[in-house]
Amino acid sequence: MRDTALRIVIAEDETLIRRGLQLLLEEAGHDVVAAVGDAGRLREAVAAHAPDLVVTDIRMPPTHTDEGLLAALAIRAAHPATGVVVLSQHVQRSYARELLSSGAGGVGYLLKQRISDIETFLHDLAAVATGATVLDPEVVAVMVDRASRAASAVGCLTPRQREVLALVAEGCSNASIAAKLFLTEKAVVQHMSRIYDALGLPADADVHRRVQAVIHYLDDA
Amino acid sequence: MTRSHGGRSVPVRSALARSLDRALAMVAVLAGILGAVYLALIPVEDPARPLIAASAVMFWVYVGIGVVAWQRRPSNPLGMLIVLAGVMIHLGTVGNTGVPFLVAVGAVCATLILPAMLHLLLAFPTGYLITWPARAVVIAGYTLSTALQAPQYLFDADGPAPDLVIVDAPDLAAAALSVQVAAGAVVMGATVVILVGRLRRADAAHRRVLVPLFSYGIFAAVATPLSGRLVWAPLGVDPLIGIAAQYLVITGVPVAFALGMLRGGFARTGQLEELGTWLGTAAASRELLSAALARALGDPSLELYFWAAARGCFVDADGHPAPAPAAHRGWAQIVLDGRVIGAIEYDRALLVDEELVRTAGNVVAIAVDRERLTAELRANRRALLRSRERLVEAADRERRRIARDLHDGLQAQLVMLAVDAQRLASADPDAVHARATRLRHDIDTAAADLRRLVHDLVPAALIERGLFAAAEELADRMPIPTRLVGAVGVLGDAIADTAYFVIAEGLTNVVKHSQAGSAVVRLEVHGDELVLDLRDDGIGGAQVERGTGLRGLADRVDAAGGTFALTSTPTEGTRLCVTLPCGS
């Protein structure tokens, strides 16, 4: 992975996790330019280093509420070249909505425990650094479940179509959806067009834009 | 007024009342001494001695009855007026002693008893001369019997007090007497007019007392000056017998007034006054209050009940509901500021006048309300203690549940993970990769369990984003369509926690019991109140009394100073409406 080495800033107030994360990223060949423990110093570090990627916890000192998320949104607005991955003990719909609201991509929202699946985690980081959008399967599951219970077209989808829809919302490409569901890419495309018809969404090949559209649809349901 | 001390009744009187008692006792003793001195001074050889002695008895009767009435109704001056009338009589008769100075005094005061009687008549029953005609008549009466009395002893050498004569002019004295008699007749006529007017305005109950009293009073006032001249002399009766009869009539006057004042329909003023005194003096307790009412109204079977708003019924001092009154029992409600605060149950045979009972109740209304509030406070305190116990129990139960979850779940998982990790150390190198990955998955599962446990205690959204975000998350994860509407800003932690608890428990109940197809959570701030409205379209039947869930909710809302309302019907589902104070 030397060729895609990223310059990364870590913000996490738990020393143990901060060190572990740093170790993990450095072992993967990335360059951790700063590892800080609160949102204020995160912003300073980003301003100082202009990193490719920020990995930040949501809850940090001094208020231990949502300063990590607010810092992430501010960084996305001020530094469009810097991707942001927000980690949280617990995912919820409103955070996904806010992170996607900029519409510019380059954001990730993952459960903190996803770190342990190192390979997937590193892959997601790399994707966000290149402008993709990655959402945790759990938050997507909450949104799809909710939308299918509500009186929306999601409830009319087949279970397989819902699986495909969830993977789209998580930010997967057609190829990776095909791999995960053991389908051909052609079958995935067929599923996609039926889903788009059912939901009345415009077909879009761009992975990032279709995440935006699907999440927006699910959130409004 | 009595207070029960170990079953014995002892009078309760204020320091002021005891002081009055002592002063009145001294008045009585003084009257006794004056009468005795008078008796001692009567010349032994006087043939009319028994009659003259009777005038002392008359004086004593007036003072005695006056003192009793004064003591029983301290704020009513009638008692004092009766005592004063006795003094007038005494002054008018001291001349009988033959002592020159006292003879002069007797001559000056000879007719003062007449205006004193008019005064009593016109001041009944309050003791005050309230209207101006009454005042004018009384002043005229006193003027007649002092100013127009003067010529009799100043100008008549053969008159009652030869020592006081300045010019002997019997014609002048006679002329003055005629004027006095004529004017006296006018005053008397005016008195009769006033009294008849009062009789006509009085109601039937009062008239029963007023008619005999006024008739007797007027009769006495007219008979006193005239009888000797007009009745006894023409009939040729011994003047001494005539005077004796006159004394008897005059002696009856205070008896009549005292009876009219203490008994009869005019007792009300006195009873109410007595209650007023009791309010001012006694350190009231419930037993004392009903006892004071029973005593003042003269019905020992009287019962006092308090209105218990929370229970919607009347209760006695111990909080037991009042039984339905029997047929012969009366029921008078006590009203304060337009609110019913209590009721008096009484014997209709003993107390005919319901209005009197009601008025007496209203006199002690504030005391009754205080007793009622005290009783309510006691009941609230008991409810508060019970609620606190339940909250502590709920916290204990929750702690035990967390301990059990940690022990049965996480601890067991960690033990098995440790075993797996150790087995990995001695595993076949080819299998290490797959087993390590599985171990990682198992650890993820344990971590997820722990996360859920922590989240159930305090949800991350509540800490990070406040109540609305946390409520949204609850709604998102409901298995039935659940809408969250409204908006709230930043709230205090305690209120947000309580509100979250209510929503979480409420939605749990919806899922568990309601069989609802959908639910709506409304969160709004109205003024300084957070209003939380949770509805479902399920089968209803939810009750606070049933189970611990809703009871626990009600307790927590209560502890936060909020209100809790639950309506649950099969047709309209269940609605839980909670308000919590969120002002600064």
In this complex, the residue of B460, B465, B477 whose CB is nearest that of residue A142 is B477
Residue A47 has pLDDT above 50, yes or no: yes
Query: What is the distance between the alpha carbons of residues B52 and B68, in angstroms, rounded to a whole number?
Result: 25
CA B225 to chain centre: 49
Q: Could you tell me the pTM of the whole model?
A: 0.57
**Structure confidence at residue B231 (pLDDT):** 57
B534–A contact, CB cutoff 8 A: no
Q: Are residues A125 and A165 in the same domain?
A: no
Distance from CA of B479 to the nearest CA of A (A): 8
Domain boundary among A135, A153, A176: A135
**Structure confidence at residue B391 (pLDDT):** 86
Q: Are residues A59 and A40 in the same domain?
A: yes
Distance from CA of B470 to the nearest CA of A (A): 9
Over range B529-540, report the average pLDDT.
Answer: 92
Residue B204 has pLDDT above 90, yes or no: no
Collect all residues of chain B within an 8 Å Cβ-Cβ radius of residue A93: 472-473, 476
**Structure confidence at residue A110 (pLDDT):** 94
Which of A66-75, A143-152, B115-124, B556-565 bottoms out in mean pLDDT, i.e. has the lowest? A143-152
Domain boundary among A135, A167, A201: A135
Q: What is the CATH number of the domain that holds A13?
A: 3.40.50.2300
Question: Are B464 and A146 within 8 A, CB to CB?
Answer: no
The string of DSSP letters for B138-150 reads HHHHHHHHHTTTH
Over range B345-365, report the average pLDDT.
Answer: 77
Q: What is the total count of domains within chain A?
A: 2
Count Cβ neighbours within 10 Å for each residue of A165-200 and write b for 16 or more, e otherwise. Answer: bbbbbbbbbbebbbeebebeeebbeebbeebbebbe
Q: Are residues A40 and A107 in the same domain?
A: yes
**Structure confidence at residue B237 (pLDDT):** 67
Q: Which of residues 442-461 of B touch A (CB under 8 A)?
A: 443-444, 447-448, 451, 454-455, 459-461
Pick from B199-213, B231-245, B312-326, B533-547 the range whose average pLDDT is largest.
B533-547
**Better-predicted residue by pLDDT, A144 or B373:** A144
* Single-letter code of the amino acid located at B83: V
CA angle (B565, B567, B573) in 5-degree steps: 140
Per-domain residue ranges of chain B:
11-265, 281-379, 382-457, 460-581
Helix, strand, coil percent content, chain A, rounded in steps of 5: 60, 15, 30
Q: Are residues A99 and A157 in the same domain?
A: no
For A84-104, what is each residue's pLDDT tens digit?
Answer: 999 998 888 888 888 888 777
Over range B477-491, report the average pLDDT.
Answer: 90
Q: Which of residues 458-487 of B touch A (CB under 8 A)?
A: 459-461, 463-465, 469, 472-473, 476-481
Minimum CA–CA partner of A149 in chain B: B481
Query: What is the distance between the alpha carbons of residues A187 and A177, in angstroms, rounded to a whole number?
Result: 10
**Structure confidence at residue A136 (pLDDT):** 94
- By percentage, how much of chain A surpasses pLDDT 70? 98
Over range A158-184, report the average pLDDT.
Answer: 91
**Structure confidence at residue B230 (pLDDT):** 57
Enter the ipTM: 0.82
Question: Are B472 and A94 within 8 A, CB to CB?
Answer: yes
Residue B352 — pLDDT band, cuts 50, 70, 90? low
Q: Are residues A127 and A210 in the same domain?
A: no
Tell me how far CA of residue A148 lies from CA of A159, A201, B54, B479, in angstroms.
Answer: 11, 16, 114, 10
**Structure confidence at residue B286 (pLDDT):** 44
Domain boundary among A116, A135, A154: A135
Residue B282 has pLDDT above 70, yes or no: no
**Structure confidence at residue B147 (pLDDT):** 87
Count Cβ neighbours within 10 Å for each residue of B477-514 and write b for 16 or more, e otherwise. Answer: ebebbbebeeebeebeeebbbbbbbbbbbbbebbbebb
Class of residue B360 by CB neighbours under 10 A (exposed 0-12, middle 13-18, buried 19+): buried
Contacts of B508 (CB under 8 A, 6+ apart): B549
Question: Are B465 and A66 within 8 A, CB to CB?
Answer: yes
Over range A102-113, report the average pLDDT.
Answer: 87
Q: Are residues A44 and A106 in the same domain?
A: yes
For B413-465, what is each residue's pLDDT tens digit?
Answer: 898 999 989 988 888 888 899 999 999 999 988 988 888 888 888 888 888 88
Minimum CA–CA partner of B461 in chain A: A92
For B110-149, what is each residue's pLDDT tens digit?
Answer: 888 889 988 988 888 777 888 899 999 999 999 988 888 8
For B154-164, what is each residue's pLDDT tens digit?
Answer: 887 777 777 77
Q: Which residues span the domain enclosing A27?
A: 2-135
Residue B5 — pLDDT band, cuts 50, 70, 90? very low
Query: What is the distance between the alpha carbons of residues B209 and B223, in angstroms, rounded to a whole number?
Result: 21
Collect all residues of chain A within an 8 Å Cβ-Cβ radius of residue B438: none
Q: Are residues A69 and A176 in the same domain?
A: no
Q: How many CA atoms lie within 13 A of B120 on its CB side?
A: 35
Question: Are A149 and B440 within 8 A, CB to CB?
Answer: no
A149–B contact, CB cutoff 8 A: yes
For B35-56, what is each residue's pLDDT tens digit?
Answer: 999 888 888 777 778 888 888 8
**Better-predicted residue by pLDDT, B207 or A133:** A133
Pick from A26-35, B4-13, B446-455 the range whose average pLDDT is largest.
A26-35
Q: Which of B484, B459, B517, B472 is nearest to A143 (CA)?
A: B472
**Structure confidence at residue A209 (pLDDT):** 81
Contacts of A198 (CB under 8 A, 6+ apart): A153, A156, A157, A161
Distance from CA of B322 to the nearest CA of A (A): 55
Q: Are residues A82 and A99 in the same domain?
A: yes
**Structure confidence at residue B205 (pLDDT):** 66
Residue A220 — pLDDT band, cuts 50, 70, 90? confident
Fold of B11-265: Rhopdopsin 7-helix transmembrane proteins (1.20.1070)
Q: How many CA atoms lie within 13 A of B61 on its CB side?
A: 19
**Structure confidence at residue B427 (pLDDT):** 84
B460-581 is classed in which CATH architecture? 2-Layer Sandwich (3.30)
Q: Which of A11, A20, A17, A97 is nearest to A54 (CA)?
A: A11
Could you write out the three-class secondary structure of A124-178?
Answer: HHHHHHCCCEEECHHHHHHHHHHHHHCCCHHHHCCHHHHHHHHHHHHCCCHHHHH
Over range A14-39, report the average pLDDT.
Answer: 94
Please check whether residue A178 is in contact with residue A187, taking contact to mean a CB–CB distance below 8 angstroms.
yes
Over range B360-389, report the average pLDDT.
Answer: 81
Tell me how far CA of residue B177 lies from CA of B180, B221, B223, in angstroms.
Answer: 5, 17, 17
Q: Are residues A80 and A144 in the same domain?
A: no
Residue B235 — pLDDT band, cuts 50, 70, 90? low
Could you write out the three-class secondary structure of B56-75?
Answer: HHHHHHHHHHHHHHHHHCCC
